[in-house]
Amino acid sequence: MAAETMDTMELPDLIPERERQVLRKGDAQTAAVVDMECNKASVAGSVSQRACVFCGSRVVLYPISDAIHLVHGPIGCAAYTWDIRGALSSGPQLHRNSFSTDLREMDVIYGGEKKLEAALMELIAKHRPNAAFVYSTCIVGIIGDDVDAVCRRVSRATGIPVLPVNSEGFKGTKRDGYRAACDALFNLVGTEPTEGLGPYSINILGDFNLAGETWIIKEYLRKIGIDVVACMTGDARIQDIGRAHGAKLNLVQCSGSMIYLAQNMQKRYGIPFKRVSFFGIEDMAAALYETAQFFGAPELMDRARELVRGEIDGIMPELKRYREKLAGKKAAVYVGGAFKAFSLVRALRLLGMQTAVVGSQTGDKDDYRHLQEISDPGTIIVDDSNPLELARFCMEKNVDLFIGGVKERPIAYKMGIGFCDHNHERKEPLAGFVGMLNFAKEVYGSVCSPVWKLTPRCAERYVQRKEAVS
Ligand code: SF4
């Protein structure tokens, strides 16, 4: 959709098959919480914002920085996900490469197993990784390569774990890709000894250290007296994942991607889990308190309280200044997992802003029920949306800001509204207390930028045109 045409077009209607995946919250008196349709394959032709199964696996496993990540498929699949998260590592940088078997026409006819085995042997000899992940793409599912057998052979020959990721792109939704990644991770858990772990040790599941968030959260926990055995998968190492079964608790930050792993670890190793969020003041504080409370040691809770008090005192004066500038502004939020959306609704409220549109790629019924409970009357709630719908909702609500990921950025800019990347491309950490301040700064910088005087908002031009016609 070209910028020149966006304000001259009519707002598009919803595809009829999608109507039950969009809800408008009624006013406070009539707003009954209802079940939305969700967690299903995207409607054909709707041009969903969702990524494929393979991409879902790739984003979850990508930050494991001492492993080879080999994409078994045509070169396009590897190019599409090359350095997709930019996740930071405090050590090896191997994850930032995108290795591919580059399957061609003859491989499709005769099979790609020999090529896969040769690529694995060459890469392992050259880079000496601690493990290798092999991602199956669409074409591999179609030609039927026995990826599991190749991985077993190479693992025996090289002595390192070689893990197949059953992520053929066409075989489900991005959520199925998360599941395939969790299966691969679960095969690693329990492969290393757990001696030396302290009594207050936890794992973090679903933080990907995109801009250093894992380091911030680990530092908070360290100050309270809690050790992190493994973060899956931010700044992760194969050995740490191997001893993750020695932790006493799993904190699940991105539940969309990691709840399945947490459930499996509970079943096999008896490790309980808690769903938390590290975004926003309230949720960050709640995550620390819940973790301290879990261990039942008063000194942990005392230190958590002290830390939270100090951090909030440190950021509040500046946060108040941003709040004065942002009060009354409206935002649209469209993110991968719904749990992040909950935190964003609360964080925006803290800045005096209203969330007028909110949605996710992978939310389930419970997630959408909770979103209805915490949203203001009139909020549009949407599952598995597409660019035309999102543009329509932003126009209709005349929002000042769009919060999303790389695929939502052009939608926002074409409509002349501010944008905040809360996904792969962000460079400032948005988690923790310092992250809340960074978030406020970024929102303010984008919403109040003078550039919008030069590119007025589509919604305003649209309304003016309508008035002129009538
Ligand atoms: S796995 Fe399939 S859908 Fe995903 S990028 Fe490759 S070809 Fe496209």
User: Which residue has its alpha carbon closest to ligand 1 atom 4?
Assistant: 169
Half-sphere exposure of 422 (CA within 13 A, CB side): 34
Tell which atom from ligand 1 comes closest to the C-alpha of 51. 4
Q: Find, among 283, 413, 426, the residue nearest to 347 by Cα.
A: 283
Tell me the CA–centroid distance for residue 331 and ligand 1, in Å: 32
Residue range 190-215: mean pLDDT, rounded: 95
CA angle 258, 264, 270 (to 5 degrees): 120
DSSP state of 319: H
Segment 206-235 shows an average pLDDT of: 96
Q: How many residues does the chain have?
A: 470
> Cα(82) to centroid of ligand 1, in Å?
13
* Tokens 């394959």, located at residue: 41
Q: What is the mean pLDDT of residues 369-397?
A: 93
Q: Which residues have C-beta atoms less than 6 Å from ligand 1?
A: 52, 54-55, 73, 77, 80, 137-138, 169
CA 100 / ligand 1 centre spacing (Å): 13
Summarize pLDDT for 27-45 with one digit per residue, the tens: 666 667 889 999 888 888 8
Mean pLDDT in residue range 382-405: 93
* For the chain, domain boundaries: 3-47+323-461, 53-172, 201-309
Minimum CA distance residue for ligand 1 atom 6: 77
Just give the CATH number of 3-47+323-461.
Answer: 3.40.50.1980
Atom in ligand 1 nearest the alpha carbon of residue 168: 1
The domain made up of 53-172 is a member of CATH 3.40.50.1980: yes
**The pLDDT of residue 421:** 92
Tens-place pLDDT, residues 329-349: 999 999 988 888 999 999 999
419, β-bridge pairs: 402
CA of 135 to the centre of ligand 1 (A): 11
Q: Among the atoms of ligand 1, which is closest to the Cα of residue 137?
A: 1
pLDDT band at 1 (very low <50, low <70, confident <90, very high): very low
For the CA of 55, the nearest atom of ligand 1: 4
> For atom 5 of ligand 1, which residue has the closest CA?
77
Same fold, 53-172 and 201-309: yes
Cα of 138 vs centre of ligand 1, distance in Å, is 6
Q: How far apart are CA 173 and CA 180, in angstroms?
A: 11
Output the residue whose Cα is nearest ligand 1's atom 7.
138
DSSP 64: B
Token output for 90: 């405090």
Residue-averaged pLDDT of the chain = 92
The CATH class given to the 201-309 domain equals: alpha beta
Instruction: Provide mean pLDDT across the span 430-456.
Output: 93
* pLDDT computed for residue 49 by the predictor: 85
pLDDT surpassing 80 at residue 196: yes
Residue 3: the pLDDT is: 41
Query: Which residue CA neighbors atom 3 of ligand 1 most closely?
Result: 169
Specify the ligand 1 atom closest to the Cα of 167: 1
Q: 371 C-alpha vs ligand 1 centroid, how far in Å?
A: 31
Q: Which atom of ligand 1 is nearest to the CA of 73?
A: 6
- Which of the given ranges, 13-22, 162-171, 306-315, 453-462, has the highest pLDDT on average? 306-315
- Candidates 217, 200, 225, 282; CA nearest to 252 is 217
Q: Over the stretch 244-277, which tens digit does the pLDDT of each residue have?
A: 999 999 999 876 789 999 999 999 999 999 999 9
Say which range, 65-79, 111-125, 168-182, has the weakest mean pLDDT: 168-182
> What is the distance in A from the centroid of ligand 1 to the CA of 27?
42
Q: Which of 58, 137, 174 to mutate to test the pocket of ligand 1 (most atoms within 8 A of CB)?
A: 137
